[in-house]
Structure 1
Amino acid sequence: MNKGLIIALSMLVAFVAPPKRKITVWLIGDSTMSVKDPKTYPETGWGMPFVYFFDSTVKVDNRAQNGRSTRTFMEEGRWQPVVDAMQEGDYVFVQFGHNDEVKTKKSYTTEEVFKSNLVKYITDTRSKKANPVLLTPVARRSFDSAGHVTGTHDVYAQIVRDVAKENNVPLIDLDKEGQALYQQWGVEKSKLLFNQLAPGDHPNYPQGKEDNTHFNELGARMIAQIVLKNIRSLNLELVERVRK
């Protein structure tokens, strides 16, 4: 073989980018994110359609659980296995607040403990050289008599924003952007995003269902698309792994 050709081929090989190392995106949160039992369909967590956004170098491991708060997720031993399995370069998307903020629930977490728990999720993730991403609790569907969206997570959503800023962590504000989405769709049309059913519409809910917290397939996909949009605007490395 021509010596010049050999040199040229050698240089070409040297400049070919190595294949991307596979990573895991861990989803840590509550029922608005989690994988659902078929018995509750059409209720859908936004983490379910989220898995289809990425190429083969990304595994999305959805560990979110219904009814969990920052505190109970750790107390039940759900967090430590994630830390143990985490690898350098992984991402951890943390979205809590729905169950932390309700004082009548066993999952209730004070504002101070909520903040310290978020910091622990960040610290543990970074200790494994992985990348934390904080998300405010996704907005509930709530309108006033004038047809304006009203916030239901004001205090706990702000804590997430503050912790993200103080710890230089990427933030995806699903409370703010969810409210904007519902306002755009309006009082009646926004019901199409949620698990709202008339009696007889679905065998899983023979008496019907009026749920302004949990999404159906359409709503989950819309929220997942908001998350994807923010991955792009934040210029996370994950952008390079989105399906073309």
Structure 2
Amino acid sequence: MRIFFSCIKKAWPLSLFVLLAFAGAPPKKIKLYLIGDSTMANKVKQTFPETGWGMPLVTFFDSTVVVDNRAQNGRSTRTFLAENRWQPIVDALQEGDYVFIQFGHNDEAENYPDRYTPPEDYRKNLIKFVTETQRRKASPVLLTPITRRKFDKDGHQQETHVAYSRVTTEVAKQYKVPLIDLDKMSRDLVQQFGAENSKLLYLQLAPGDHPNYPYGKEDNTHFTELGARKMAQLAINEIKAQHLPLAERLAKPLPKNAVPPTKGKDAQPTTP
């Protein structure tokens, strides 16, 4: 009997090693970089309830994904590059990281020469983002510019980024990278809400609704918290639909009968 237990004791480290080998190492942490404009960017409290759709995105992933939102208000592909906002990301990219690329709103702003980028230059800039990401063995994902709220007199949501969405789609096809067509998906969503209810998605405030906007706000480009979350959900749904490897890192939903965890002495287990 003593010899038997001695053999078991000696074999235990090897058995543990085998079990761990089959279980596999936990996935390494990766970064998901977001580059784009104000529709995606983080916001300061002085502009609340304006919310970029990149802000709630972090809540959809598990702890192995670090969302690094580098999107900036008012930037086009040209100014993002000119201000040296891209190169530090390239230098930091690691194998397995992702870069979500969503521009267009400011590139198409012909009335603002400081940011306007003609479609062909926009194409070149997207290609630069894509190819430099790939050289670092990271994964670029192109996203068409998210729609502005614009209904015609018959209540139909209009397409607001025709040329720039087309270029984005063409670059994705040419370089065989994933495309998330946020333009179309967000138009469909806004249409589902309708001309009146879709105001809930955008920064539409009456005078007195919020102290940050005492005189109200009528903005058909930027989102409320609800709108930002809905737009982020569109991107997440497409990650799942396209079976991108990133989908494996989405947060797992709690069971329906789970009790949400709390802090302190009243903490409850997550399952009965």
How would you bin the TM-score normalised by the shorter chain? over 0.9
Structure 2 residues without counterparts, runs of 5 or longer: 1-5, 253-272
Residue in 2 aligned with 1:207?
A: 215
Deviation at 1:5, TM superposition (A): 5.5
Q: Given residue 55 of structure 2, which amino acid in structure 1 is its aligned partner?
A: M
SS of match in other structure, 1:68: coil
Match of 2:93 among 86, 99, 108: 86
Paired AA for residue 143 in structure 1: F
- Give me the whole-angstrom Cα distance separating, in 2, the residues matched to 1:171 and 1:140: 19
Give the match for residue 236 of structure 1: 244
1:14 and 1:78 map into 2 onto residues whose CA distance is 41
How far apart in 2 are the matches of 1:148 and 1:9? 63
Cα deviation 1:132-156 (Å, max 9, x = unaligned) = 0000000110110000111110111
Higher relative contact order (CA 8 A, sep 6+): 1
How far, CA to CA, are the matches of 1:124 and 1:66 in structure 2?
A: 23
**Matches of 2:7 and 2:19, distance apart in 1:** 15
Deviation of 1:69 after TM superposition, in Å, equals 0.4
The equivalent of 1:123 in structure 2 is 131
Distance, in Å, in 2 between the alignment partners of 1:30 and 1:14 is: 44
Letter in 2 for 1:158: R
In the TM superposition, structure 1's runs of 4+ consecutive aligned residues that sit over 6 Å from their partners are: none
| Corresponding residue for residue 223 of structure 1 | 231
Write the deviation string for residues 202-223 of structure 1: whole angstroms up to 9, x where unpaired.
1111110000000000000000
Q: Are positions 1:101 and 2:115 aligned together? A: no
Q: What is the RMSD computed on CA atoms of the aligned residues?
A: 1.2
Q: State the Cα distance separating 1:11 from its structure 2 match.
A: 2.7
Q: Which of 72, 79, 101 is the equivalent residue of 2:79?
A: 72
3-state SS of paired residue (1:94): strand
Matched, 1:111 2:119: yes
Match of 1:28 in 2: 35
SS in 2 for 1:187: helix
Question: What residue is the counterpart of 1:49 in the other structure?
Answer: 56
Cα deviation per residue 1:174-215 (whole Å; 9 max; x = unaligned)? 100000001101000000001100011111111100000000
Q: Structure 1, unaligned stretches of length 5 or more?
A: none
1:240 Cα offset (Å): 1.2
Alignment partners' CA distance in 2, 1:132 and 1:228: 15
Cα distance, 1:55 vs structure 2: 1.2
Q: Identify which of 144, 150, 168 aligns with 2:176.
A: 168
> Following the alignment from structure 1 to structure 2, what is the Cα–Cα distance between the partners of residues 152 and 233?
25
Q: Specify the SS of the correspondent of 1:180.
A: helix
SS of 1:222's partner is helix
Identity %: 59
Match of 2:264 in 1: none
Determine the C-alpha separation between the residues in 2 that align with 1:221 and 1:14: 39
Q: 2:44 aligns with which of 37, 47, 56?
A: 37
Per the alignment, residue 20 of structure 2 pairs with 13
Question: Among residues 158, 183, 186, which one is paired with 2:191 in the alignment?
Answer: 183
Q: Distance in 1 between matches of 2:154 and 2:84?
A: 45
DSSP 3-state at the match of 2:55: helix
Q: What's 1:62 paired with?
A: 69
Amino acid at match of 2:60: F
Letter in 1 for 2:199: K
The normalised TM-score by structure 2 is 0.87
AA in 1 matched with 2:97: D
